[in-house]
Amino acid sequence: MDIATDKYDKELTRIKQLGMIMLCCGLFSGCTKNTEREQPTLNLYVAASLTEAIQEIGDAFSKKTGVYLVYNFGGSGALARQMIAAPRGDLFFSANIDWMERAVAADAIDSSSVRTILANQLVLVAHRDANLQIDSPDDLCRESLKLLSIGDPAYVPAGAYAKQWLEGISCGESTLWDKFKSAVVPAIDVRAALAQVLSSHEALGIVYLSDYLSRAEQLQNLYSVPLEAGPEIRYAVGILSKAESPTLAAEFVDYLQSAPAVTIFEK
């Protein structure tokens, strides 16, 4: 009888302890559910050349609004093809108008939301330790390059702009593009083109001025293509037709044109 009573008491104690543990877990879970809040999120497709500027602007926007930003940086052509194939996300920031128009034509972007808000400029860059001086396109005609790094002209706006500029410069009976096309190493985006220049003293690159400024301490700006002599470089932003958060996306577009954002873009 004493043995049975002892076993009963132990079992009763174990059940009470288990019940207390379950109660505590239930209370804890309840507190978690009551205090958790789903943070609003924006998913952005952004041209690689805007990486630093958009991240800085995004941080300021997040602090102001509490919105969490998810970035997908890359070549505008690759990003546009992603959205056309699977239009998920909220916003597309393209480094040229053509890829934005293709996305609009495929109904991936709401045409009424498109804004053109930025411009850029091409520069010819080299590693800071490279021994080379270029004062004009004519100097390039006299050079023999082993490697010219640009974005893939078929998909990367910076590469397409670079090719367009080179095709417009005459070197005798041919063009700079004819002279250098065999030396071209096409990159997946303009930042990849920049990385190739940073890794080789023999490489030249044609990138945006904003890309050069992001690595100015490691590079030489050999030549800035005058705005009137180069292709017109315009950036467009648009909201996806099936945006998950269209109202927040529109708010972010407005913020991109605000004084704080303009200051960052200019910097």
How would residue 38 be classed by pLDDT, with cut points 50, 70 and 90? confident
Are the CB atoms for 96 and 233 separated by under 8 Å? yes
Q: Please give the Cα distance from 172 to 174 (Å, whole number).
A: 6
135 domain residue, yes or no:
yes
Please compute the mean of the pLDDT values over residues 75-100 and round it to a whole number.
94
Q: Is the pLDDT of residue 30 over 80?
A: no
Q: Is the pLDDT of residue 32 over 50?
A: no
Residues 109 and 237 in one domain: yes
How would residue 267 be classed by pLDDT, with cut points 50, 70 and 90? confident
Strand runs (DSSP E) across 34-132, as ranges?
A: 41-47, 68-74, 91-94, 115-119, 122-127
Residues 50 and 106 in one domain: yes
198 domain residue, yes or no:
yes
Residue 148 is predicted with a pLDDT of: 95
Residues 137 and 259 in one domain: no
Residues 128 and 110 in one domain: no
Residues 6+ apart with CB under 8 A from 146: 183, 202, 203
How would residue 35 be classed by pLDDT, with cut points 50, 70 and 90? very low
* Buried/exposed 55-76: b ≥16 CB within 10 Å, e otherwise: ebbbeebeeeeebebeeebbbb
Residues 180 and 128 in one domain: yes
How would residue 1 be classed by pLDDT, with cut points 50, 70 and 90? very low
Residues 71 and 157 in one domain: no
Domains contained in the chain, number = 2
How would residue 18 be classed by pLDDT, with cut points 50, 70 and 90? very low
Q: What is the pLDDT of residues 228-238, one digit of tens each?
A: 988 999 999 99
Residues 180 and 86 in one domain: no
How would residue 249 be classed by pLDDT, with cut points 50, 70 and 90? very high
Structural domain span for residue 196: 122-224
Are the CB atoms for 265 and 255 separated by under 8 Å? no
180 domain residue, yes or no:
yes
Residues 48 and 85 in one domain: yes
Q: Is the pLDDT of residue 43 over 80?
A: yes
Residue 112 is predicted with a pLDDT of: 97
Q: Is the pLDDT of residue 51 over 80?
A: yes
Q: Is the pLDDT of residue 205 over 60?
A: yes
Percent of the chain with pLDDT over 90: 71
Are the CB atoms for 53 and 265 separated by under 8 Å? yes
101 or 131, which is more confident: 101
Residue 221 is predicted with a pLDDT of: 96
17 domain residue, yes or no:
no
Average pLDDT of the chain is 86
Q: Is the pLDDT of residue 89 over 80?
A: yes
Residues 135 and 167 in one domain: yes
Residues 131 and 107 in one domain: no
Residues 246 and 195 in one domain: no
Q: What is the pLDDT of residues 180-192, one digit of tens each?
A: 999 999 999 999 9
* Buried/exposed 236-247: b ≥16 CB within 10 Å, e otherwise: bbbbbbebebbe
CB-based burial label for 255 (10 Å; 0-12, 13-18, 19+): middle
Residues 183 and 205 in one domain: yes
How would residue 157 be classed by pLDDT, with cut points 50, 70 and 90? very high
Nearest to 80 by CA among 110, 103, 111: 103
CB-based burial label for 78 (10 Å; 0-12, 13-18, 19+): middle
Q: Is the pLDDT of residue 137 over 80?
A: yes
Global confidence as pTM: 0.77
20 domain residue, yes or no:
no
Concatenated DSSP letters for 173-193?
A: TEEHHHHHGGGEEEESSHHHH
115 domain residue, yes or no:
yes
- Domain harbouring 162, CATH code: 3.40.190.10
Name the range with the highest mean pLDDT among 29-38, 97-106, 129-138. Answer: 97-106
How would residue 5 be classed by pLDDT, with cut points 50, 70 and 90? very low
